Structure 1
Amino acid sequence: MTPEWLAVDWGTSRLRVWLMGPDGTVLDQRQSDRGMGNLSSGQFEPALLALVGDALPRGRTIPVIVCGMAGSRQGWAEAPYAAVPCAPLSVASAVQVETADPRLSVFIVPGIKQASPPDVMRGEETQIAGFLADNTGFDGVLCLPGTHCKWVHISAGEVVSFRTFMTGELFALLEQASVLRHSVTGGDWDDGAFAGAVDDVISRPATVAADLFSVRAAALLDGTGSGASRARLSGLLIGLELAGARPYWLGQDIRVVGAGGIAGAYRDALAAQGASVATVAGDGMVLRGLRAAYDTLHEAAP
């Protein structure tokens, strides 16, 4: 079967494409390493065709719904940010890209911006739309852990406000390029060390710089193992984030996107603070968001 439309998640390092049937089924899924970071503006269409050109129908045009970094200033075409409060995703505000191949009708969905305090997201809005497709009427906060963790307040089907915390990137920098790298490589995870660090930094966030160095000192003086040291480093940074994000999670219904791993760490840290929190599986959330965008386009078609 030839696809009815293409769902595309174009990130900085990866390109993912789902070939979609008329009833919303996935006919095929393909991916490559031709992410936005490896392409100039004129290389996006050839990269897409190299991946899926053999599957495109002859003699007709199909919609291509694209989310992610393809819509950035350095991407295929800049899709200007929608301003909060707004629905997480709308093809009506998408940018339609001119293509050389007449079989492609490309729409790049916009990210979301916030004026005060200044913040942006690009890609996460599609995950949010996918979550809302399965959880209509949700009123609360989504936590999307990652390199740059997003806290998103949702009400009446709209993104009301959000904040981005660079916790994952800070962890990677400290783990790989600081004096702590000698103490946090390898080892088993230590739940007690993580929980203790979260409590310490939420109680005394002003001392976090000193507490970070104590990770190294404890390894030297007390023989603290790398697993406990790594868990403590993670707990200090996530605890610092929770202290800063308190207006988002205090008294709110929270869903952490992901299962196990870092999502589980966020859930445990929030639960220890008495928050109402649960995790939701992130697998397939982007595709569900792209489906919702396609449905909007399909319904608007004459």
Structure 2
Amino acid sequence: MAETTPDWIAADWGTSHLRLWLMSDTGRVLDRRSSDQGMGRLTRDGYAPVLNAALADVLPASGRLPVICCGMAGSRQGWAEAPYAAVPCAPPGAPQATRITCDHFDVHILPGIKQTAPADVMRGEETQIAGLLAATPGFDGIACLPGTHTKWAHLSAGEVVSFRTFMTGEMFALLSDQSVLRHSVQGPGWDDAAFDEAVSDAISTPANVAARLFGLRAAALLEGLSADTARARLSGLLIGMELAASRPYWLGQPVRIVGEDGIGAAYLRALQAQGAEVATTPAQDITLKGLTAAYAQLKDTTA
């Protein structure tokens, strides 16, 4: 139960999950909630009922709660499409949001960002970038946002100048769960040395990665390569190949990785080995900072 009725709601509505923060007007988190009712499980008329159910105990007796929402709820298949802003641009905020008034809520869905050459899009990560800029005013450098589709964004003067997306996380999932490598990489452990070596190999000779990937299967059959080592090598090869392609972003630039644990820690280790100037920041905290910045804009426009 929440401590008191919130003044507004921060929402990160992704493909697989909904994350909610119940917020005071001063920016204090009163409660946190989550649901597996992501965009991928909902039709357009399903969003309001999910929000009602998740916040049933804190609905106002009158009026509507402001909701600042980022993520896939604003996609073409989501609650309502929030059109992309085009780079170079500041991360879109409340003035650019798509507004939905329904039931007990006044919902503001933040837009994503698009790039035409080369073609690329992001939706949700722009709010993390807004949070990163709010947490580190004046930061000029690179934001690395690891995930299923990792983003590298060049930030300067408060704007996203350019960005590139790499499907490294999805490739890892497909190869480890659905390819011939699934027989060799299923294990709970990890091998740091194997990861480091694979990253270095892939950065040095990315053209050989496809052959090195099959080598994991062969080494398991012929040499008894452990699943822990094979899994670490698979991750290292894919991340190393990505770092080879994204070198123009991170080489000689300060890098902030959004995410401290798991895959964020792997990117940190890989970049440190290359001598990059790199640090991490917690992903959920940064998302909330971005949503809070958008709420501040909303208050300014309605004051």
Indicate whether the TM-score tops 0.5.
yes
1:24-43 matches, within 5 Å, as 24-43=27-46
- Which residue matches 2:153? 152
The CA deviation string for residues 26-78 of structure 1, in whole angstroms up to 9 with x for no partner, is 22222222211111111111111111133121222331111111100011100
Structure 1 residues 260, 76: closer, same or farther in 2, change over 3 A? Answer: closer
More deviation in 10-19 or 111-120? Answer: 10-19
Does residue 254 of structure 1 match 2:255?
Answer: yes
Contact 1:64 1:105 in 2 (8 A): yes
Does residue 90 of structure 1 match 2:90?
Answer: no
The CA deviation string for residues 78-129 of structure 1, in whole angstroms up to 9 with x for no partner, is 0001111111131111011132x2x321111101111111111111111111
Alignment partner of 2:284: what SS? coil
Displacement of 1:187 after TM fit? Answer: 5.1
What is the rounded CA distance, in whole Å, between the counterparts of 1:4 and 1:273 in structure 2? 46
1:3-42 matches, within 5 Å, as 3-42=6-45
Unaligned runs of 5+ in 1: none
What is the rounded CA distance, in whole Å, between the counterparts of 1:29 and 1:198 in structure 2? 37
1:52 is aligned, of 52, 55, 59, to 55
- Which residue matches 2:71? 68
- Which residue matches 2:265? 264
What is the rounded CA distance, in whole Å, between the counterparts of 2:57 and 2:222 in structure 1? 62
Structure 1 residues 107, 285: closer, same or farther in 2, change over 3 A? Answer: same
Structure 1 residues 247, 87: closer, same or farther in 2, change over 3 A? Answer: same
Structure 1 residues 183, 135: closer, same or farther in 2, change over 3 A? Answer: same
What is the rounded CA distance, in whole Å, between the counterparts of 1:80 and 1:143 in structure 2? 23
Contact 1:10 1:70 in 2 (8 A): yes
What is the rounded CA distance, in whole Å, between the counterparts of 2:250 and 2:153 in structure 1? 10
Displacement of 1:274 after TM fit? Answer: 1.9
User: Amino acid of the residue matched to residue 22 of structure 1?
Assistant: D
Unaligned runs of 5+ in 2: none
Structure 1 residues 30, 280: closer, same or farther in 2, change over 3 A? Answer: closer
Alignment partner of 1:161: what SS? strand
Aligned residues: 300
What is the rounded CA distance, in whole Å, between the counterparts of 1:108 and 1:25 in structure 2? 21
What is the rounded CA distance, in whole Å, between the counterparts of 1:7 and 1:261 in structure 2? 25
User: Amino acid of the residue matched to residue 295 of structure 2?
Assistant: Y
More deviation in 90-99 or 161-170? Answer: 90-99
What is the rounded CA distance, in whole Å, between the counterparts of 2:186 and 2:204 in structure 1? 27
Alignment partner of 2:181: what SS? helix
Alignment partner of 1:255: what SS? strand
Alignment partner of 2:177: what SS? helix
Contact 2:258 2:286 in 1 (8 A): no
The CA deviation string for residues 240-260 of structure 1, in whole angstroms up to 9 with x for no partner, is 000110110111111112223
User: Amino acid of the residue matched to residue 57 of structure 2?
Assistant: D
- Which residue matches 1:191? 192
TM-score of the pair, normalised by structure 2 = 0.96
User: Amino acid of the residue matched to residue 170 of structure 2?
Assistant: E
Contact 2:144 2:153 in 1 (8 A): yes
TM-score of the pair, normalised by structure 1 = 0.96
- Which residue matches 2:300? 299
Does residue 288 of structure 1 match 2:289?
Answer: yes
TM-align CA RMSD: 1.3
More deviation in 181-190 or 65-74? Answer: 181-190
Contact 1:187 1:225 in 2 (8 A): no
What is the rounded CA distance, in whole Å, between the counterparts of 2:77 and 2:210 in structure 1? 35
Alignment partner of 2:55: what SS? helix
